[in-house]
């Protein structure tokens, strides 16, 4: 064999070896085309029957599949539906619940719940049957429930939730010192009673749930206690069922809607109070009812514009228009700050410390309540005052109240403008021997009140 013939033979061998390698890619390319031809309904004018395998779902799993050459039946047309489309889901980011339809003026008047009669007799019987829970914890000292709350939604201002937490801590401190119970709500119990009006269903619910409570004390979330030792003079209110900050002249003569403030008031747990809440709440449903009562209130009061009714102006309206029914049991308190306006107070705390009044029964040493009316701790566009100014004032009020508690532990804020504290009293060998009257009340509040009542 010549050298050229040897080279030709080697090429033929290599070509035979490469042939299977070329066939495999061709098969991979041809397979999809074949599948396409099989699935097509018409190839070259020749109809290729469809093959559909159906399983008898009523038979056992061992049944053989059925092969048919018939095309799949088209689904029957859907008959037009006569039912209304499903209502769109309303997402309420504020209260996470759907608002009911707006109450119209032609609808039944709003009610907080079923009418309650004979409540005083039934409550008295309950107290007799449950002597472990007396309505008066000491002679002349009623059992008190402080009721407060805030919106269920988060604050839009990042600092708002922290301020609300500190304000709640302030209320807890005050209640602990005086032996009061406290209830904090973040729920809107009735969507019709939104905004400031939400306190009314909450108060009614708390009354019925706590028959052992003699007085409920409503305080707004932006109320701060700034005299931690002062307690309202309960004996002064023995013949009254509601205590409001204000004067008779401003309510009955001037007829001003700002004659009182509904951000801090005391209300007795009794039938009279339930009736008042019912009459008060009729003006509160959001929508046309609230707007209509706003017009009526504007006609009866001297300085109220005809916008929608608020809880405060509505209460003044009841006192002015039906004094015979509601006025006799209403005590208008002006001898101490049941509601103190923050802008007149927060910059005078240092001066108050330098020249304090002598604590006496029924006399406050400092403003009992500093109320941040017009401020929105959570943020919002409806604030009356600058947010930075409000936050500074709230920090000062909270630190001023907190200092009266920290003093028990020997500490005090370095300044009302900072949260930093320092030690102001050295511990002695007898830390429980507190001769100071203030320390005695803070350290042993229950025993102190029992021996000094």
pLDDT in tens, the chain (453 residues): 555 555 445 555 555 555 555 555 555 555 555 554 445 444 444 444 443 444 444 444 444 444 444 444 544 544 444 444 444 333 344 444 567 889 998 899 999 999 999 999 999 999 999 999 999 999 999 999 999 999 999 998 888 999 999 999 999 999 999 999 999 999 999 999 988 999 999 999 999 999 999 999 999 999 999 999 999 999 999 999 999 999 999 999 999 999 999 999 999 999 999 999 999 999 999 999 999 999 999 999 999 999 999 999 999 999 999 999 999 999 999 999 999 999 999 999 999 888 766 556 566 789 999 999 999 888 877 778 998 999 999 999 999 999 999 988 888 898 899 888 888 877 655 555 555 655 565 655 554 454 444
Q: Across-strand partners of 146?
A: 182, 217
Between β-strands 330-333 and 242-245, what pairing exists: parallel, antiparallel or unpaired? parallel
Alpha helices in 190-287 (DSSP H): 199-209, 248, 271-281
Topology adopted by domain 119-409: Spore Coat Polysaccharide Biosynthesis Protein SpsA; Chain A (3.90.550)
Distance between CA atoms of 267 and 214, rounded to whole angstroms?
A: 9
Q: Which residue has the tokens 């500074």?
A: 392
Task: Decide: 289 and 103 in contact? Cβ < 8 Å.
Answer: yes
- Comparing CA positions, the residue from 416, 420, 411, 412 lying closest to residue 399 is 416
CA distances from 142 to 28, 212, 241, 347 (A): 93, 10, 13, 34
Q: What is the pLDDT of residue 67?
A: 42
At 71 the three-state DSSP class reads coil
Q: What is the pLDDT of residue 437?
A: 59
Q: Across-strand partners of 215?
A: 144, 268
Q: What is the CA radius of gyration of the chain?
A: 39
Task: Decide: 413 and 420 in contact? Cβ < 8 Å.
Answer: yes
Task: Decide: 332 and 251 in contact? Cβ < 8 Å.
Answer: yes
- Listed in sequence order, the residues at least 6 apart from 436 whose beta carbon sits closer than 8 Å to its beta carbon are none
Q: Where does residue 100 fall: left (phi above 0), alpha (psi -120 to 50 degrees), or beta otherwise?
A: beta
Distance between CA atoms of 445 and 449, rounded to whole angstroms?
A: 6
Question: How many angstroms from the chain centroid is the CA of residue 150?
Answer: 4
- Give the residue extent of every domain in the chain: 119-409
Q: What is the DSSP secondary-structure string of 7-44?
A: HHHHHHHHHHHHHHHHHHHHHHHHHHHHHHHHH-SEET
Task: Decide: 417 and 425 in contact? Cβ < 8 Å.
Answer: no
At 108 the three-state DSSP class reads coil
Q: What is the DSSP secondary-structure string of 206-232?
A: HHHH-TT-SEEEEE-TTEEE--SS---
Task: Decide: 111 and 281 in contact? Cβ < 8 Å.
Answer: yes
Structure tokens at 129: 């049957």
| Distance in Å from the first CA to the final CA of the chain | 135
At 451 the three-state DSSP class reads helix
Q: Across-strand partners of 66?
A: 54
E-strand stretches of 271-363: 330-333, 340-341
Task: Decide: 202 and 217 in contact? Cβ < 8 Å.
Answer: no
At 268 the three-state DSSP class reads strand
Q: What is the pLDDT of residue 42?
A: 47
Task: Tell me the backbone φ, ψ of residue 443, rounded to 5 degrees.
Answer: -80, -40
Give the global pTM.
Answer: 0.75
Task: Decide: 414 and 379 in contact? Cβ < 8 Å.
Answer: no
Q: What is the pLDDT of residue 63?
A: 42
Structure tokens at 144: 């008190």
E-strand stretches of 122-252: 136-138, 141-142, 144-149, 181-185, 215-219, 223-225, 242-245
Q: Which residue has the tokens 């397979």?
A: 31
């Amino acid at each position: 064999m010549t050298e050229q013939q040897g080279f030709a033979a080697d090429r033929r061998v290599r070509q035979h070896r490469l042939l299977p390698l070329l066939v495999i890619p061709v098969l991979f390319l041809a397979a999809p085309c074949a599948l396409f031809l099989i699935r097509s309904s018409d190839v070259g004018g020749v109809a290729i029957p469809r093959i559909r395998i159906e399983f008898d779902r009523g038979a056992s799993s061992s049944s053989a599949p059925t092969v048919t050459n018939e095309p799949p039946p088209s689904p029957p047309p859907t008959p037009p539906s006569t039912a209304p489309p499903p209502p769109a889901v309303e997402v309420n980011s504020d209260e996470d619940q759907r608002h009911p339809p707006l109450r119209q003026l032609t609808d039944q008047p709003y009610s907080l719940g079923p009418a309650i009669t004979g409540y005083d007799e039934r409550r008295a019987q309950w107290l007799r049957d449950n002597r472990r829970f007396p309505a008066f914890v000491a002679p002349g000292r009623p059992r008190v429930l402080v009721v407060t709350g805030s919106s269920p939604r988060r604050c839009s201002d990042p600092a708002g939730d922290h301020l609300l937490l500190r304000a709640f801590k302030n209320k807890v401190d005050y209640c602990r010192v005086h032996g009061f119970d406290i209830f904090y709500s973040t729920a809107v119990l009735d969507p019709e009673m939104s905004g400031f009006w939400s306190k009314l269903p909450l108060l009614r619910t708390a009354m019925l749930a706590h028959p052992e409570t003699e007085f409920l004390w409503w305080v707004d979330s932006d109320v701060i206690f700034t005299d931690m030792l002062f307690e309202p003079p309960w004996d002064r209110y023995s013949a009254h069922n509601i205590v409001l900050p204000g004067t008779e002249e401003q309510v009955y003569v001037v007829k001003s809607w700002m004659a009182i403030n509904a951000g801090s008031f005391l209300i007795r747990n009794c039938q009279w109070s339930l009736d008042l809440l019912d009459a008060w709440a009729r003006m509160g449903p959001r929508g046309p009812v609230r707007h209509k009562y706003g017009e009526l209130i504007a006609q009866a009061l001297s300085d109220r514009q005809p916008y929608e009714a608020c809880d405060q102006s509505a209460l003044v309206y009841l006192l002015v228009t039906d004094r015979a029914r509601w006025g006799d049991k209403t005590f208008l308190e002006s001898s101490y700050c049941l509601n103190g306006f923050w802008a007149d107070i927060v910059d005078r705390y240092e001066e108050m410390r330098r020249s304090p009044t002598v604590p006496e029964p029924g006399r406050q040493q400092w403003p009992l309540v500093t109320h941040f009316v017009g401020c929105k701790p959570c943020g919002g566009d409806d604030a009356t005052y600058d947010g930075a100014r409000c936050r500074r004032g709230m920090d000062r009020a909270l630190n001023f109240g907190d200092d009266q508690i920290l003093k028990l532990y020997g500490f005090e804020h370095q300044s009302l403008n900072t949260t930093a504290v320092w030690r102001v009293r050295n511990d002695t060998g007898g830390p429980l021997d507190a001769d100071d009257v203030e320390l005695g009340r803070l350290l042993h509040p229950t025993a102190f009140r029992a021996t000094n009542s």
